[in-house]
Amino acid sequence: EKCQLTRTRSSNTRCKKRQVAASSNKNQKRHVAALILARGGSKGIPLKNIKPLAGVPLMGWVLRAAVDSEVFDRYVANIKKVAEAWGAQVHQRSSEVSRDSTSSLETIQEFLEYHNEVDIVCNIQATSPCLHPFDVREALKKITEDGYDSVFSVVRRHQFRWKEVDELSDEKTEAINLDPANRPRRQDWPGELCENGSFYFTTKDLIKTGQLQGGKSIYYEMLPEFSVDIDGDIDWPVAEQRVLRYGYPGKVVRLLFCNVSACLAEGINALSSNTRNTSAIHMLQEKQVEVILLTSSDDAVAQSLAAKLQKRTGCQVMEVGKKPLNDLQEVMKNKSLDWKHVAFMGFDQADEKLLKLAGLSAVPGDAPELASKAAKYICPLSRGSGAVWDFAEHILLQKPMAKPQNNKSC
């Protein structure tokens, strides 16, 4: 009895120590980094991670979700072209961890060697474009509030599995996760939890031991509609439809700045006379998106037609100089708006900063490379061919989604 009592007290002491440690970690601010390990090349799909999916680079979908989750101290990606457009830092892998055989663990360990201040790493897969901020926030709480060492995403699958056999042998296949004599109905079977590869949260201490999953570990269950994994060409058309319906659209756009002098091949005349262009503006206004049309101080034609344009569209027409950002900062201040709620459509080098700063930005399909790299959305249409209309439709697709109520973790 004395021995049993000693073991009980020892167990209670260890439990209390874990509770104290968890409480201490909860109150202590920990540096959390989002790391998107993506390469420019892909054997399955050329340049897959930067290939536009529904107009947005594949990596851009998860970067947007990570940024808007507002739980990370830094966002890091490997591909400069996309990373900078979404406000992420660039981590250049060394040659030692750039081989095809290099594991994610090796790359993350190298990253931590350069960033010792990081306490928690979230390895986000670029090939999971339906990731949402609420999933990221809830999963991280398992470490920061509940004291877990690693959290990874899973999805519930209802698929019966069978043992693989050599077709040339006499061996018979066997059921792995069901009894064929008592085959359950789908609604009577809870299914199985499978990794969906969307994200992996791990503490630095666990990574140092050579593990991404381990220690006090837990899973975070995501809904099937948000578990999209792209690994082949055949998935791309299907993924575009899924991401338009279930992907995270970003913050709700409340204001659009459109540089009409640059975005229309025919100049400002095109917007003042083309029915389709003005319809795009009216379409946004009907959905409570304010539109301000920007004209260049170098565009003499624009100045002469500004009044006509304002009357036809019902929009404020604003003249900006060679550094439009300076002119628009005052507008933003007066309207008490954050840039994440603003869309911007530009075209040339002068628009680069605004294209990067706006929560949603676009350029026509024939925009110069510098502007295209800075934009978050590249219209498939060129100037004069409906680019403004296309971007307006894209903005209206960005509908806020309610948080699902049945996400689970265990």
In this structure, the strands spanning 408-409 and 255-259 are unpaired
183 classed as catalytic = yes
Task: Please state, in angstroms and as integers, the Cα–Cα distance from residue 136 to each residue in 141, 206, 239, following that order.
Answer: 9, 20, 21
Question: How is residue 162 annotated by DSSP?
Answer: B
Question: How is residue 281 annotated by DSSP?
Answer: H
- Structure-token match 């624009």, residue found: 302
Contact 34, 200 (CB under 8 A): no
Q: What 3 state SS string does 184-252 have?
A: CCHHHCCCEEEEEEEEEEEEHHHHHCCCCCCCCEEEEEECHHHCCCCCCCCHHHHHHHHHHHHCCCCCC
Question: How is residue 96 annotated by DSSP?
Answer: G
- Tell me which of 9, 14, 183, 245 is the catalytic residue: 183
Please say whether the dihedral angle defined by the alpha carbons of residues 219, 223, 225 and 226, taken in this order, is positive or negative: negative
Distance from the first to the final alpha carbon of the chain: 35
If you count DSSP H runs as helices and E runs as strands, how many of each does the chain have, helices first? 15, 16
Please state, in angstroms and rounded to a whole number, the distance separating the CA atoms of residues 271 and 345.
14
Q: Collapse the DSSP code of 134 into the 3-class scheme (helix H, G, I; strand E, B; otherwise coil) and give the result.
A: helix
183's torsion region: left (phi>0), alpha (psi -120 to 50) or beta?
beta
Q: Which residues are catalytic?
A: 183
